[in-house]
Amino acid sequence: MTEIHGPGGPLPTIPDDLTVVQFMLDADHISRPKVVGPNVWLVEDATGRKVTKEEILTRVFGLANELSARWSIKEDDVVCIFSPNHIDYPIAIWAVHRLGATLTTANPSFTANELEYQLTITKAKAIITHPSALSVAIDAARATGIAADRIALFNHQSPVNTSTVYPMIDQLVSAGLSKPAYFVERRLRPGEGKTKLAFLSLSSGTTGQPKAVCIPHHSPIANVIQMAHLANLQTESWETRAYRPGDVAMALLPFYHIYGLVVIMHFAIFYGMSLVVIPKFNFVDMLKSIERHRINYIPIVPPIVVLLCKHPAVDAHDLSSLRAMKSGAAPLSAEVIRQLSTRLPNMSIGQSYGMTETCTTVTFPQLEQKIGTPGSAGRLLPGIVARVIDADGKLLGFNQPGQLVTKGPGNALGYLNNEQATKETFVDGWIYTGDEVIINEQAEVFVVDRIKELLKVKGFQVAPAELEGHLLDHPDVTDVCVVGLPDEFSGDLPLAFVVPSPSAAERMRKDPAEGGRIKAGLMKYVADTKVAYKQLAGGVEFVDTIPKNPSGKLLRRFLRDYAKQLKAKGKLTEVKAKL
């Protein structure tokens, strides 16, 4: 085997002379289904306010016109959106694209220093933020030389505690609509969509400083078409299809992250779904939103899946509207999928895999299956070509573990002003993902783990994700992260950081000795089913939370460092089970 092609091709034509906003708002495409009835694109979670395509077109023009008139935003300028999800978030993106400018979207929980870093490397000239993030935006803007009059706010009912009056998006839209056109939107030249930047999205790497990924307009357009084309190949009855135009989708995952930006905001809307925009995650509130809006499709991440499996509030809400779930950003074990399918038996369940660098989706759920192949991260999308290579770069065959290298029409261009990192990841049109996978004859991808996170126990490779998936099936475990504890003899000793379930925590509160019994039980639970070198020789430690990045990936390095600190202080008891 040399290369594996995603089945379902060929793809329809992918336009290379359109911006994202022109593709979404102005153009017709063969892969875009027709929507019968009110063309509602956005729904505000708290109020139920519905925004149609017609209103979006008007608001996008008004905002673009005022950004041109007031801030002189023009071709290739960079505007930063620093906000939680908001119903006007897509309007802001598409207004900036109308002007030929570029977006960089930032995590609203950033500190001023973190935002300053992003503003600096992207050379942003203006900020659209939210009252909850305004103080940080002001500090970062001041540090990077962005004038205070180049900060605008998404509409919100909460008071703004500042002496300076910052314009709201509604005010800018109204002002822009009251003026003659200040800008002339142009059509890109043939092929220009492959080079003209749409987004500068920060990568979600767990080491080193974040890098700005250069994403041209062609990339999200291509990925949306890939997903829509595959969804159009569904042969199931209308009632059982996982993806249907006219359905209601949940937009809870952050729009600033590539998953929320492309897969949720752009694909779901393109495919004719109405997006319920939820600004902040609270699990019980999420259940209420599903019930209130009769949501059908929930794109989520593994930590939310675990809560759906284990949280008692699930049984208190009517989730009968749910028909499809897609989990991404991190592997979901077969054990967790089994738990979820038992608790929500009427919902189709699948996984997908992607990266900021591939903008975005490389695999998609197997839509002909109600429950995706256990342990798989989905099947390669049409238009994706994959290779699996060993440490020496040798091409491997089906069912052989190695690094995933992928090529597709959505691939980004590289890292902004970072030639060395670009050369390491972007090689002759291929993306070196850094993920170890197995691909079977059905083009299904199984993510073993991040290559750099694999444990080496007496020369054997141990995937933390495998142990984590097993432990999550235990009733005393709410969440878990397995790291390697350095050991002179064995190399790594697998150590599990565990968030106890509520019942386990209550038992420990009543009887302090119960903690030791639970730890011993978890170690036996692994030992009973895993070979010796996969056992928890490093022990079990309880923690309140497992650190994760915004996309749901475990931040193992923090717990690795914490384990070393505990060991140095003599507070870590290593078991060193027989290997």
Q: For the chain, which domains are there? A: 4-16+203-451 (3.40.50.12780), 50-186 (3.40.50.980), 454-568 (3.30.300.30)
Enclosing H/E stretch for 557: helix 556-568
Query: Parallel, antiparallel, or unpaired for β 361-364 and 353-354?
Result: antiparallel
pLDDT reported for residue 165: 84
What tokens does 435 get?
């993920």
Helix (H, G, I), strand (E, B) or coil at 283: helix
Give whole-number Cα distances, 221 to 99, 192, 198, 414, in Å: 18, 13, 10, 17
Angle, helices 514-527 vs 502-510, to 10°: value is 140
Query: Parallel, antiparallel, or unpaired for β 491-500 and 477-487?
Result: antiparallel
Burial class from Cβ neighbours inside 10 Å (0-12, 13-18, 19+) for residue 63 reads buried
Q: Quick check: 438 and 446 in contact, CB under 8 A?
A: yes
Q: Quick check: 222 and 408 in contact, CB under 8 A?
A: yes
pLDDT reported for residue 519: 95
| Contacts of residue 376, Cβ cutoff 8 Å, sequence gap at least 6 | 351, 366, 444, 445, 446
Give whole-number Cα distances, 166 to 65, 86, 179, in Å: 18, 17, 20
pLDDT reported for residue 161: 65
Calpha distance 129→341 (Å, rounded): 39
What tokens does 208 get?
């080193």
pTM score of the predicted model: 0.84
pLDDT (tens, 9 = 90+) of the chain, 579 residues, equals 679 999 999 999 999 999 999 999 999 999 999 887 778 999 999 999 999 999 999 999 999 999 999 999 999 999 999 999 999 999 999 999 999 999 999 989 888 988 999 999 999 999 999 999 999 999 999 999 999 999 999 998 766 666 678 999 999 999 999 999 999 999 999 999 999 999 999 985 434 568 899 999 999 999 999 999 999 999 989 988 999 999 999 999 999 999 999 999 999 999 999 999 999 999 999 999 999 999 999 999 887 888 899 899 999 999 999 999 999 877 777 888 889 999 999 999 999 999 999 999 999 999 999 999 988 999 999 999 999 999 899 999 999 999 999 999 999 999 999 999 899 999 999 999 988 999 999 999 998 876 767 787 875 668 788 899 889 999 999 999 999 888 766 778 999 999 999 999 999 999 999 999 999 999 999 998 887 888 999 999 999 999 987 667 788 888 988 988 888 888 776 554 433
Name the residue among 401, 10, 66, 412 with its Cα closest to residue 225: 10
Calpha distance 331→351 (Å, rounded): 8
Query: Parallel, antiparallel, or unpaired for β 197-202 and 402-407?
Result: unpaired
| Contacts of residue 193, Cβ cutoff 8 Å, sequence gap at least 6 | 15, 16, 17, 18, 19, 216, 217, 218, 221
pLDDT reported for residue 574: 57
pLDDT reported for residue 578: 39
Name the residue among 143, 153, 155, 175 with its Cα closest to residue 63: 175
Written as one letter, the residue type at 360 is: T
Residue 554 DSSP label:
B
Written as one letter, the residue type at 224 is: V
pLDDT reported for residue 444: 97
